Amino acid sequence: MSGQHRETAVPGVLLIDSITQLTAADAGVWAVSGSHGGTSAAAYALALPLAGAVFNDAGVGKDGAGIAGLALLQAAGTAAVAVAHDSARIGDALDTWGAGHISHVNAAAAALGLRPGQPLQTALLSILK
């Protein structure tokens, strides 16, 4: 993907290759991104009141850098999850939505019933009913 993919998957879910593409009009959605879940990516998600954010765990990385943003979003009360890097291509929101499996969740996401091991699409659709 070129980093330009942007579409509504279902009402309330925005597929966006890069979390940097969020705009003020996206407030209130679940942003399903292809971005890593590090702190720099989380800063973009924190700029808006989102229902939730989805990232790629990017292999988690040194000191958990690939998922460190989930804690920042938790501090703001925003649900956030990461999908496993070996289940979805980094930078590809459509693949994240279609093939991603949740690998990490913050407490706000866990309170909604999201758990590691769940297929992302199935899990999000179940909480959006």
Q: What is the pTM of this model?
A: 0.94
- Tell me the residue range of the domain where 72 lies: 6-127
Q: Is the residue at 101 inside a domain?
A: yes
Q: Is the residue at 113 inside a domain?
A: yes
Q: Is the residue at 123 inside a domain?
A: yes
Amino acid 26: pLDDT? 94
Q: Is the residue at 1 inside a domain?
A: no
Q: Is the residue at 122 inside a domain?
A: yes
Q: What is the pLDDT of residues 106-127, one digit of tens each?
A: 999 999 999 999 999 999 999 9
Count of the separate structural domains present in the chain:
1
8 A C-beta contact, residue 85 and residue 58: yes
Residue 60, phi then psi, degrees to nearest 5: 70, -50
Q: Is the residue at 105 inside a domain?
A: yes
Does the pLDDT at position 1 exceed 50? Answer: no
The Cα 91–Cα 24 span in angstroms is: 21
